[in-house]
Amino acid sequence: MFENLTDRLNNVFQQLSRRGKLSERDVDAAMREVRLALLEADVNYSVVKDFVGRVRERSVGYEVSKALNPAQQVIKIVNEELIKTLGEPGRLNLSGPRPRTIMLVGLQGSGKTTMAGKLAQHLRTQGERVMMVAADPYRPAAVQQLEILGERLNVPVYSEADVAPPVLAVRAQQKAQNGGFSVLILDTAGRSQMDDALMDEIRSIDERIDPTEILLIVDAMIGQEAVNIAEGFRDAVPLTGLVLTKMDGDARGGAAISIRSVTGVPIKFLGTGESLDAIEVYDPSRVSSRILGMGDILGLIEKAETAFDEETARVQAERMLSGEFTLQDFADQLGQVRRMGPIGALLEMMPGGLGQMAREIPPQEAEKQLVKTEAIINSMTMAERKNPKILNASRRRRIASGSGTNVQDVNSLMKQYREAHRIFKTIRKSGGRGLPRLFG
């Protein structure tokens, strides 16, 4: 989402790093570029003005003039002020009597129903008993969509035909209480635009069930309009938090930077993809790191912990270092990596060179290469995967034909495998002393 902004800011920082000392003129020139970059990213004008003013004031002050590396000090200041602008993270309130009711509001197309499923999945992993409520009788197939999500998650969905949403919400809350559910997620109706009917309905639901949380689901791809929508809903009902969806989309990303400062409502979650586990607890420091091209190692670790089986990973690591690493092990690891999400998105979470590589290589190309590698390995017999030395020319032609690739692709994969095998062998022999030489 922040690709263009990241590139623009990195260009500014590179220009600063070429100067041993920074004059006030250098700082002013850099701040002009930062201002333009933020405005182009659709960040609210008043937010940009305030942000750039704070950064400039600190950058021409004592902390930069006395720094050993002034350019790095400016980057540090930008990062700290960006985190401040993004706002303190809001945490979901799960206190009080059960069921704790989470009411989702927003316009049509914001991803409200899908987010209900994601939240249900997220809360179940924390040990909560969750029920969802289909309270949108207007959008075609809205109830069916939530019921399908409920089946996939094994989470019950409450719905009733021809019942007004405020009445339905009261009945659902009572049913959840009687059934011993700890959390009730209410998927309310949306509209194509804010109107009196929509606001009256959500006010009525709020008054009748007194929800613990009222979360506004906002499509981050609509830019500054997201801020206007948030202000409109905030004036109608007491919002307790914001959820920004489609943060993985091709958008400028300004809403994520502006919305907390303008509305004063805390951001609680980010939707980062279409799968039901593509939800992140909002952390401004991690968002800032991504914007500034520093990656998101914490996010990457969390994805890995979810996708990788600890015991399997330990056994595979032992096999690698013992020299028994086979193409079957390689295939198993590829499957685990794919469970972490699109490869392009994973590379973007890496700092430095790998993050830059993700911006230079189209995500579709990286995914295509991964699919091709899996196809080649899947076209091998188990004996060939366990002992690649038996892959003669005839076998390689058969594998290429079966995987829809060519012999060159098979040879390229085998070259990569041999190189990996050589690296593990070197590490084993050196007791790890070869790591700096191999990867430094």
Give the three-class secondary structure for 251.
Answer: coil
CB 276 within 8 A of CB 118: yes
- In this prediction, residue 394 has a pLDDT band, given cuts at 50, 70 and 90, of very high
Which helix (H) or strand (E) is 269 found in, with range? Answer: strand 267-271
pTM of the model: 0.66
d(CA 98, CA 17): 56
- Average per-residue pLDDT for the chain: 80
Q: C-alpha angle with apex 339: 334 to 340, nearest 5 degrees?
A: 100
- pLDDT confidence of residue 325: 72
d(CA 338, CA 329): 14
Residues in the chain, how many?
440
Q: What is the pLDDT of residues 149-159, one digit of tens each?
A: 999 999 999 99
In percent, how much of the chain has pLDDT > 90? 29
- In this prediction, residue 284 has a pLDDT band, given cuts at 50, 70 and 90, of confident
Question: Per-residue pLDDT averaged across 80-93, rounded?
Answer: 87
Give the three-class secondary structure for 27.
Answer: helix
- pLDDT confidence of residue 11: 77
- pLDDT confidence of residue 353: 42
Place of tokens 């039901």: 276
- pLDDT confidence of residue 422: 73
Question: Higher confidence at residue 99 or residue 222?
Answer: 99
d(CA 393, CA 411): 10
Nearest to 110 by CA among 164, 7, 190: 190
- pLDDT confidence of residue 6: 73
Q: How far is CA 158 from CA 142, 174, 260, in A?
A: 13, 11, 33
Q: What is the pLDDT of residues 215-225, one digit of tens each?
A: 999 988 777 78
Q: What is the pLDDT of residues 407-419, one digit of tens each?
A: 999 998 888 888 7
Main-chain dihedrals φ then ψ at residue 209, nearest 5 degrees: -110, -10
- pLDDT confidence of residue 121: 93
Q: How far is CA 324 from CA 123, 198, 247, 420, 428, in A?
A: 40, 63, 41, 12, 11
Answer yes or no: is pLDDT of 36 > 60: yes
- In this prediction, residue 262 has a pLDDT band, given cuts at 50, 70 and 90, of confident
d(CA 400, CA 145): 41
The domains found in the chain, sorted by start residue, are 3-86 (1.20.120.140), 100-294 (3.40.50.300), 301-439 (1.10.260.30)
- pLDDT confidence of residue 415: 86
Which helix (H) or strand (E) is 188 found in, with range? Answer: strand 183-188
Task: Annotate 80-107 with DSSP letters as a single string.
Answer: HHHHHHH-PPP-----SSSSEEEEEE--
Question: Higher confidence at residue 192 or residue 198?
Answer: 198
Q: What is the pLDDT of residues 326-367, one digit of tens each?
A: 788 777 777 766 666 665 555 555 444 444 545 455 556 767
Among 283-292, 417-426, 429-438, where is mean pLDDT lowest? 429-438
Which helix (H) or strand (E) is 75 found in, with range? Answer: helix 70-86
399 Rama class: left (phi>0) / alpha (psi -120 to 50) / beta: alpha
d(CA 335, CA 74): 41
Answer yes or no: is pLDDT of 41 > 90: no
Residues 6+ apart with CB under 8 A from 404: 375
Amino acid at 250: D
CB 139 within 8 A of CB 267: no
Task: Annotate 109-176 with DSSP letters as a single string.
Answer: TS-HHHHHHHHHHHHHTTT--EEEEEE--SSTTHHHHHHHHHHHHT--EE--TT--HHHHHHHHHHHH
- pLDDT confidence of residue 296: 46
d(CA 337, CA 306): 11
